[in-house]
């Protein structure tokens, strides 16, 4: 009987406490891993809420209240399906730097807009991130330490 290859192997990423997860072709097929590219998009400022209302001095010095208006800007955007939360509430995505290889990368979310997360920090635009199968990769990474 031929030796069975393991469905996944993990290796510590030197200088970090993260692991590089490498899947066998069969495991990747079973998990039906899907990816999308990180992208930069022109986004509008987050909708203001009561907490965002600022006092604007009037000519007479009285504190009239007015909503803060911000311009749009280019920001990193990722599908919300790519975002994972760890046990401590930290947010992550899995990047796909080469075929069958996945590495967790921290992201900082500014806000969620429908099916996309607008980031203040994350991988560079164009980086492939996992949108289907990320939870399974996280389980593989944590379960194989």
Per-residue pLDDT of the chain (145 residues; tens, 9 = 90+): 455 678 999 999 999 988 999 999 999 999 999 999 999 998 876 655 445 445 455 555 555 555 555 667 899 999 999 999 988 999 999 999 999 999 999 999 999 999 999 999 999 999 999 999 999 999 998 884 4
Assigned domain for 14 exists: yes
Residue 6 has what pLDDT?
87
Assigned domain for 136 exists: yes
Assigned domain for 1 exists: no
Residue 46 has what pLDDT?
63
The domain spanning residue 25 has which CATH number? 2.40.420.20
* Overall domain count for the chain: 1
Residue 98 has what pLDDT?
96
Task: Name which of 22, 4, 15, 16 is nearest 141 in CA terms.
Answer: 22
Assigned domain for 2 exists: no
Residue 144 has what pLDDT?
47
Which residues, in sequence order, are CB contacts of 136 under 8 Å at separation 6+? 31
Assigned domain for 90 exists: yes
Domain range spanning residue 58? 8-143
Assigned domain for 3 exists: no
Assigned domain for 57 exists: yes
Residue 73 has what pLDDT?
87
Assigned domain for 126 exists: yes
Residue 1 has what pLDDT?
41
Residue 145 has what pLDDT?
45
């Amino acid at each position: 009987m031929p030796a069975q290859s393991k469905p996944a192997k993990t290796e510590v990423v030197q200088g970090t406490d993260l692991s590089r997860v490498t899947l066998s072709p069969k495991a990747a097929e079973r998990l039906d891993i899907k990816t999308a590219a990180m992208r930069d998009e022109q986004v509008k400022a987050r909708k203001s809420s009561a907490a965002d209302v600022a006092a604007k001095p009037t000519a007479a010095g009285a504190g009239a209240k007015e909503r803060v208006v911000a311009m749009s800007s280019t920001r990193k955007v990722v599908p919300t399906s790519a975002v994972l939360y760890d046990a401590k509430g930290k947010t992550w995505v899995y990047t796909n730097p080469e075929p069958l290889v996945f590495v967790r990368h921290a992201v900082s979310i500014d806000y969620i807009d429908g099916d996309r997360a607008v980031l203040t920090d994350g991988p560079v635009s164009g980086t492939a991130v996992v949108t289907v199968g990320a939870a399974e990769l996280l389980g593989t990474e944590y379960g194989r330490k």
